Amino acid sequence: MTEKELKLIVEACRRNERHAQNVLYNKLYGFAHSICRRYAHNESEIVDLVQDGFFKVFMKMDYYSDELSFYAWFKKVFINTCIDHHRQYLREVPTEELTPAADKPFNGDVLIHIDADHLLYLVQSLPAAYRTVFNLYAIEGYGYQEIADILHVSIGTVKSNIFKARERLKLAINPINTSHNYER
């Protein structure tokens, strides 16, 4: 879709034209799905987040400024939708003091043999709190304080959840640890 086409579709969406909303939905569904997929636990949750995100996009279309990239604005709406959805889980996950990680060897070469879908599956298998902070930190590039502000949690909670997410991913990826059960 060209910038000109996108601008026309956005203007029609601002006028609540259903056909334009349908076109935008169909053109950007895959992009929206890929954003939500990083934050969701399963396909059903992804579909719910995509629907919620598009609802917010159409309801907040007047807040979009033509001076900004529509894709960047769209992505931010979807990330915020995912964060809002998971805020309830973030408060429920108990945090504990960080303890030094056990000296377990990690063979970074194992990452060469993991495809993106499998890695995404591993991230999706993380508890919601860990998955959300991990995505915001590792994928979206937010800093600890920014994540704490976005999620309305302490910076210690953010650091703890990122640490635990990394540890769980390391255990899931590293063949040396595949025979160990990891439960916390």
Q: What is residue 37's predicted lDDT score, i.e. its pLDDT?
A: 92
Query: For residue range 139-167, what is the model confidence (pLDDT) as tens digits?
Result: 889 999 999 988 888 999 999 999 999 99
Query: For residue range 59-70, what is the model confidence (pLDDT) as tens digits?
Result: 999 999 988 899
Residue 182 predicted with pLDDT over 50: no
Q: Is 90:132 a contact under the CB 8 Å cutoff? A: yes
Domain ranges of the chain: 3-92, 108-177
Strand runs (DSSP E) across the chain, as ranges? none
CA-wise closest residue to 78 among 108, 96, 57, 104: 57
Prediction pTM value: 0.69
Across the chain, what does the average pLDDT equal?
A: 82
41 vs 36: CA distance, rounded Å? 10
Same CATH topology for 3-92 and 108-177: the answer is no
Q: Is 9:24 a contact under the CB 8 Å cutoff? A: yes
- Please provide the CATH number assigned to the domain covering 3-92: 1.10.1740.10
172 vs 123: CA distance, rounded Å? 10
Its CATH class, for the domain covering 108-177, is mainly alpha
